[in-house]
Structure 1
């Protein structure tokens, strides 16, 4: 898909992977709508790249419907959706204070997995009604999993389960939406230099990066963005989960 003038939506766009992807899409000529819990947090980026800022709780059906309607009113129905919204709280199944509260597990799944599905179902419904482009393509959905989906560490049960669900969703969604000319692809990042990671003390960061084969550093959000744009532009990429991790395989802890 050629990105110029195509309406695009990025969730979790206030920082990290989402913000970098939004910048890259805008630079390539797409008309970008930024979605995050707070439109105020989005305002500086929206002004900088000429994008639309929309408040959205991706895990809430009504909030997501309202956000997609607002974006479509401004730019037209999106042909590109990049799901970057997510949370990653740590918590052992059985910790010092007993079993992990069920609501803590449910919240992670609600945001990471159900939120991804919520945005995908709504965006796909709108894409299916659009006129096809070249190769009969109507839209592209890029989701974000994690290598924790495959090698979840101790304390990551909820996060790994939620991201494993996103990974498992990829192929059946791509198969089902193929008749509408909609592709579905997932990126599974390794350790990236997002605010959540760079807040870790430097000595801990150094110990972590020493385990990455090459390049021996955190991934840059811009590198995630480059992968997302490559997926959008290449019509043969469909139904796959792509690891973006410098050959890292997570250890138990």
Structure 2
């Protein structure tokens, strides 16, 4: 039996997994995308996993086409897939590696763009609800888009691009009843942070004014759910950071 679904990229871990689990608990079925397909026993009931390299336009097109066949309709997209390698513009070994910069853009910017375009194309064929809405897109920017630190030039540029895509997308898609909102998270307790030494984690957590800790991925997931249900939220980039303002380093 097919069902209404929400596409979540980067669903295997971190923010994406928190979103998948939260939305599934609210009764949504999830099309869970990650670089490697998530095993069925690691997915919530009624959800399906897909292997997809979001940086590859053809792969995204094929995956979303398959999602469209597997679900009655796709009413939401949550983009959480991303990478954050650190490198200075000019480091000890010389200028920033151009291929690394391009890879960050390919995953974080082009990956988000590919998913937005393919999912919006599906959503516009949905039957509108009582308010005329056919779908909602939630992307993941970062506070680095506004206060990128030393060594984050590629990551900050990519997340700045994600933030900048939000309003034009919302304006364009308004005619078909599709909303577009972005979340700019601060420092969250994801696998990337969990791999750091405890003293480093504590130092980073201490920079958050309140609550003075690494942010909980479930708070990100709760905001995603709120965006999906609050039809007035549109065209906005929402900071979720405990009042954090990043220092230069």
Q: What TM-score, normalized by structure 2, do the two folds share? A: 0.97
Which position in structure 2 is the counterpart of 1:132?
A: 128
1:33 aligns to what SS in structure 2?
strand
> Is 1:13–1:42's contact at 8 Å kept on the other side of the alignment?
no
Match 1:234 to one of 230, 234, 237: 230
Q: Distance in 2 between matches of 1:201 and 1:84?
A: 24
Which position in structure 1 is the counterpart of 2:51?
A: 55
Is residue 95 of structure 1 aligned with residue 100 of structure 2?
no
Match 2:179 to one of 146, 169, 183: 183
Which position in structure 1 is the counterpart of 2:27?
A: 29
Is residue 143 of structure 1 aligned with residue 172 of structure 2?
no
Partner deviation per Cα, 1:44-98 (whole Å, 9 max, x = no partner): 421x444100000111111111211222222123110000000000000101110
Q: Distance in 2 between matches of 1:187 and 1:45?
A: 26
Which position in structure 2 is the counterpart of 1:45?
A: 42
Structure 2 residue runs of 5 or longer lacking an equivalent are none
Which position in structure 2 is the counterpart of 1:77?
A: 73
Structure 1 residue runs of 5 or longer lacking an equivalent are none
Match 2:160 to one of 160, 164, 176: 164
Find runs of 4+ consecutive structure 1 residues off by over 6 angstroms.
Answer: none
Q: What TM-score, normalized by structure 1, do the two folds share? A: 0.95
> Is 2:126–2:134's contact at 8 Å kept on the other side of the alignment?
yes
Q: Distance in 2 between matches of 1:220 and 1:50?
A: 25
Distance 1:42 1:250, change over 3 A: farther
Is residue 250 of structure 1 aligned with residue 246 of structure 2?
yes
